[in-house]
Amino acid sequence: MSLLQRVKDLVNLKKITIAELERVTGLSQGSIRNWDKTSPGVDKVQKVAEYFNVSTDYLTGRTEQPYYALTEKEKLDIGQEVDRLLDGMATDAEVNFYGEPMTEEGKAALKAAIQMAMELNKQKAKQHFTPKKYRN
């Protein structure tokens, strides 16, 4: 899928026109429609990516993942952190659910939920705290 087609898809999802996108991002009128004929500058692609909150890698077709994905190492680190958080759940006496000891199945479900929440927060932090010039 081309850069222009990805932008068109995002514009349609947001229910705006390409002309509106050009206005809000400060791009010249008609410039985005020419992206199928000439390659835009990185700064222009970055403006569009920031507007839609997607990575430039997604817009340029380097990845199918539009958002900031975690690396396997980051997922592993989060898993280890979740394990540390849940170490206190090692005995039934320490963790109660409505006054009853939590089952192993309940602990596993809680662990999965915490891990997913931490992964989502890590993705948002990566996006927020990565300097714009280094964002994908």
Is the pLDDT confidence value at 68 over 70? no
76 and 50 in a common domain = no
Global confidence as pTM: 0.52
Is 16 among the domain residues? yes
Is 8 among the domain residues? yes
Segment 113-128 mean pLDDT: 86
Q: What share of the chain is helix, strand, coil (3-state, %, to 5)?
A: 65, 5, 35
Number of domains in the chain: 2
78 and 32 in a common domain = no
Domain around 10: 3-59
Q: What CATH number does residue 14 fall under?
A: 1.10.260.40
What's the confidence (pLDDT) of residue 115?
Answer: 87
129 and 85 in a common domain = yes
**Coil, strand or helix: which one is 93?**
coil
124 and 84 in a common domain = yes
